Amino acid sequence: MPLVEVTHAPDVTEAALRTLGSVLPHLVSEAVQCPEEPYDGDLRPGDVDVRFRKRGPLDVGGLDVVIEVRSKWFRSRAVDRQERTDLLQRGVQTATGLRGVGVYLSLPVAAWSQGED
- pTM (whole model) above 0.85: yes
**41: alpha, beta or left, given left = phi > 0 and alpha = psi -120 to 50?**
left
In the beta sheet, which residues pair with residue 70?
3, 106
Band of pLDDT at residue 109, cut at 50, 70 and 90: confident
What's the confidence (pLDDT) of residue 62? 86
What's the confidence (pLDDT) of residue 110? 77
Band of pLDDT at residue 115, cut at 50, 70 and 90: confident
What's the confidence (pLDDT) of residue 102? 97
Q: Are 8 and 17 in contact (CB under 8 A)?
A: yes
Domain parsing of the chain, residue ranges: 3-106
- Backbone phi, psi, residue 48, to 5°: -140, 135
pLDDT at 117 over 70: no
CA–CA–CA angle 11, 100, 90 (5° rounding): 130
How many CB atoms within 10 Å of residue 18?
12
Q: Are 50 and 30 in contact (CB under 8 A)?
A: no
Band of pLDDT at residue 13, cut at 50, 70 and 90: very high
Quick: pLDDT tens for 39-98: 999 999 889 999 999 999 999 988 999 999 999 999 999 999 999 999 999 999 999 999
**Domain covering 3-106 in this structure, CATH number:** 3.30.429.10
